[in-house]
Structure formats: C-alpha cells, structure tokens
Amino acid sequence: MRAKNQFATACYVLTLDSPGGKRYESAKQQLDRFSVQANFVQGIRFSPGETSPLYSPWLNLVHMKRQMTSGEISVYLGHRKIWQRAIDDGEERALVFEDDFFIQNDEKFQQAVADAITVSEHWDIVKFFDFRPKRAIQHWRVNKTELVLHKYTGSGCVAYLINIDKAKVLLTQSSIFRPIDEDWSHPWEHNLRILSVTPNPVSEIAPVLGGSLLEREREKMKTGNRNFARSVYGNFLTIKKNARSLAWRRKVASDLMPMFRSAHCR
C-alpha cells in the first residue's frame, strides 16, 4: 500500500515534458520520495509568432519596460491552468512546482511545508525559492521554519504554496502583461500577502536539465529589441513600483505581526 502524501496537500507540477523526459523524471523521482502522486499539468506551447488572446500588448506597453517573451506567456498560462485545476479538484491550497525544481533537503522541506500550513490563514502565497532575494524586513519563526517578508518579492515561481481562495482572485485578472513573478512583485494589485521560507529549501536546476528557454528568449530580446524611450520609461516604472512597495510592505508587516505572535509561532 502506498503511504499517505507526506505534504498533506495537493501537489501540481508544471511541465512541457513528457513521461520519460529529463525534467519530468527529475520531478517525479523527487516527489516519489514523499509518496506524492503529483498532478503533472502540461504547459502551453506556441508556434513561432503565435501568442495568447489573454496577452495584452497595450497593457504590457503601459506597465512594463519590455515585451513579454512567448515562453513567459506560456509559463504564466501554465500556472493559471494549475490554479484552475486545483479549484476544480476542490482543494483548499496547492503546492506548485515548475519542473526544474530541486529539493535540497527532504526533511527540512517537508517541515517547511507543514509549518507554513499551520499558519495558512495569515498568508496567500509562501515561496520556497527566491532568485537573489532582497533583504528580509520581518522574520517569523513558525516551529522549525523561518518565514520572512522581503523588501521586494523575489523572482522565481519554482516552488510555492498558494491558498485557493487567492488563486480564485488571481484568475479574475482578464489579461496578462507581465511575467508571473513580476506580477507578484506588485502585490498591492491583488492584495497579496507573500512570504518566503529562508534559506531557500528549494533550488532551480534548469542548467543541468538542458538549460532555460526563458533565459535564452530574454537574452535574444535584449540584444535584438532595444528601445531607448521604453528603457527611460522603465526607470519611471521602477521609481513608481519602489514607492508603492514601501507602503505595501509596511502595511503587510503591520497586519501580520500581531497574528504571528499567536500560539502557532514559537
């Protein structure tokens, strides 16, 4: 008899790979160690020049300093597909992975998931990986896990927990115009309470799984589509974002501090 899912929550993996593929098997082998029957959700492939009707070039022009790549659009749609799948499955929350994740320590990661769930009423998303995380401005010890609020939400959606009520809110967004992690770095737009586990219990191993298509696309765009006016406008967007971020993180820190002093945290 197969042991019970040791994460005690539904698990989904976003992939473009097929069973037997390097990324698929890497993810499956890791999750098998936790007796998890993961739900592999196939991402969306675009033909050259193809895009999604959900992508708004106009909103992208207004809110971002560069165009989205087709890969970034595909990844965002894939995460939305997972959220909808978890809603249809009747889940309260979902543990979501991209297929290039690597769990650095099984015991510590399982503990981090369990500890985060004990205080799930106080967050919308908990990230287990941040790329070059910014300074943490608040720390909360929950059992054996340290949760933090970063000065700015870090890049990367390689592994995270999401509460389904908030996933429903995110799915009401009718257009996409920034990469998913860039959207999450504007948390005030959807009243997102995003915490991270520190240090990262999960890493990203795209280089050993064949490389990152997203990075290749981004580099190609940087070298082939430079726009001076848009770069200058991007500086304005950064200043605006930093100002909003300051107000938002003060609000979130103030709201969460009394709650995280509850009996859950020790």
Q: Is residue 1 part of a domain?
A: no
Q: Is residue 144 part of a domain?
A: yes
pLDDT score recorded for residue 48: 77
> Any idea what the CATH number is for the domain that residue 187 is in?
3.90.550
Q: Is residue 102 part of a domain?
A: yes
Cα separation of 7 and 114, whole Å? Answer: 7
Q: Is residue 2 part of a domain?
A: no
Q: Is residue 153 part of a domain?
A: yes
Mind listing the pLDDT tens digit for each residue in 158-206? Answer: 999 999 999 999 999 999 999 999 999 999 999 999 999 999 999 999 9
Residue 263 reports pLDDT greater than 50:
no
SS3 114: helix
Tokens read off for 62? 């207004």
Tell me the pLDDT band of 211, cut-offs 50, 70 and 90.
Answer: confident
- Cα angle 101, 249, 162 (rounded to 5 degrees) comes to 35
Q: Report the share of the chain in percent with pLDDT over 70.
A: 89
The mean pLDDT of the chain is: 89
Q: The domain containing residue 147 runs over which residues?
A: 10-259
Residue 49 reports pLDDT greater than 90:
no
- Look at the chain and report how many structural domains it folds into: 1
Region 25-29 average pLDDT:
97
pLDDT score recorded for residue 230: 77
Residue 210 reports pLDDT greater than 90:
no
Residue 104 reports pLDDT greater than 60:
yes
pLDDT score recorded for residue 29: 96
Furthest CA-CA distance within the chain: 62
Whether residue 64 contacts residue 185, with contact meaning beta carbons closer than 8 Å, is answered with no
Tokens read off for 73? 């659009």
Residue 252 reports pLDDT greater than 80:
yes
Region 22-29 average pLDDT:
96
- Helix locations, the chain, DSSP H: 22-32, 57-63, 70-88, 106-118, 164-170, 180-184, 213-224, 228-259
Whether residue 60 contacts residue 237, with contact meaning beta carbons closer than 8 Å, is answered with no
Residue 13 reports pLDDT greater than 90:
yes
Q: Is residue 194 part of a domain?
A: yes
pLDDT score recorded for residue 224: 59
Q: Is residue 133 part of a domain?
A: yes
Phi, psi angles (nearest 5°) of residue 94: -140, 140
Residue showing tokens 């890969």: 71
pLDDT score recorded for residue 179: 96
pTM: 0.90
Mind listing the pLDDT tens digit for each residue in 77-98? Answer: 999 999 999 999 999 999 999 9
Query: In this predicted structure, which of 1-10, 123-132, 140-149, 193-202 has the lowest mean pLDDT?
Result: 1-10
**Nearest one of 99, 95, 142, 144 to 122, comparing CA atoms:** 142
Q: Is residue 75 part of a domain?
A: yes
- Cα angle 140, 155, 115 (rounded to 5 degrees) comes to 30
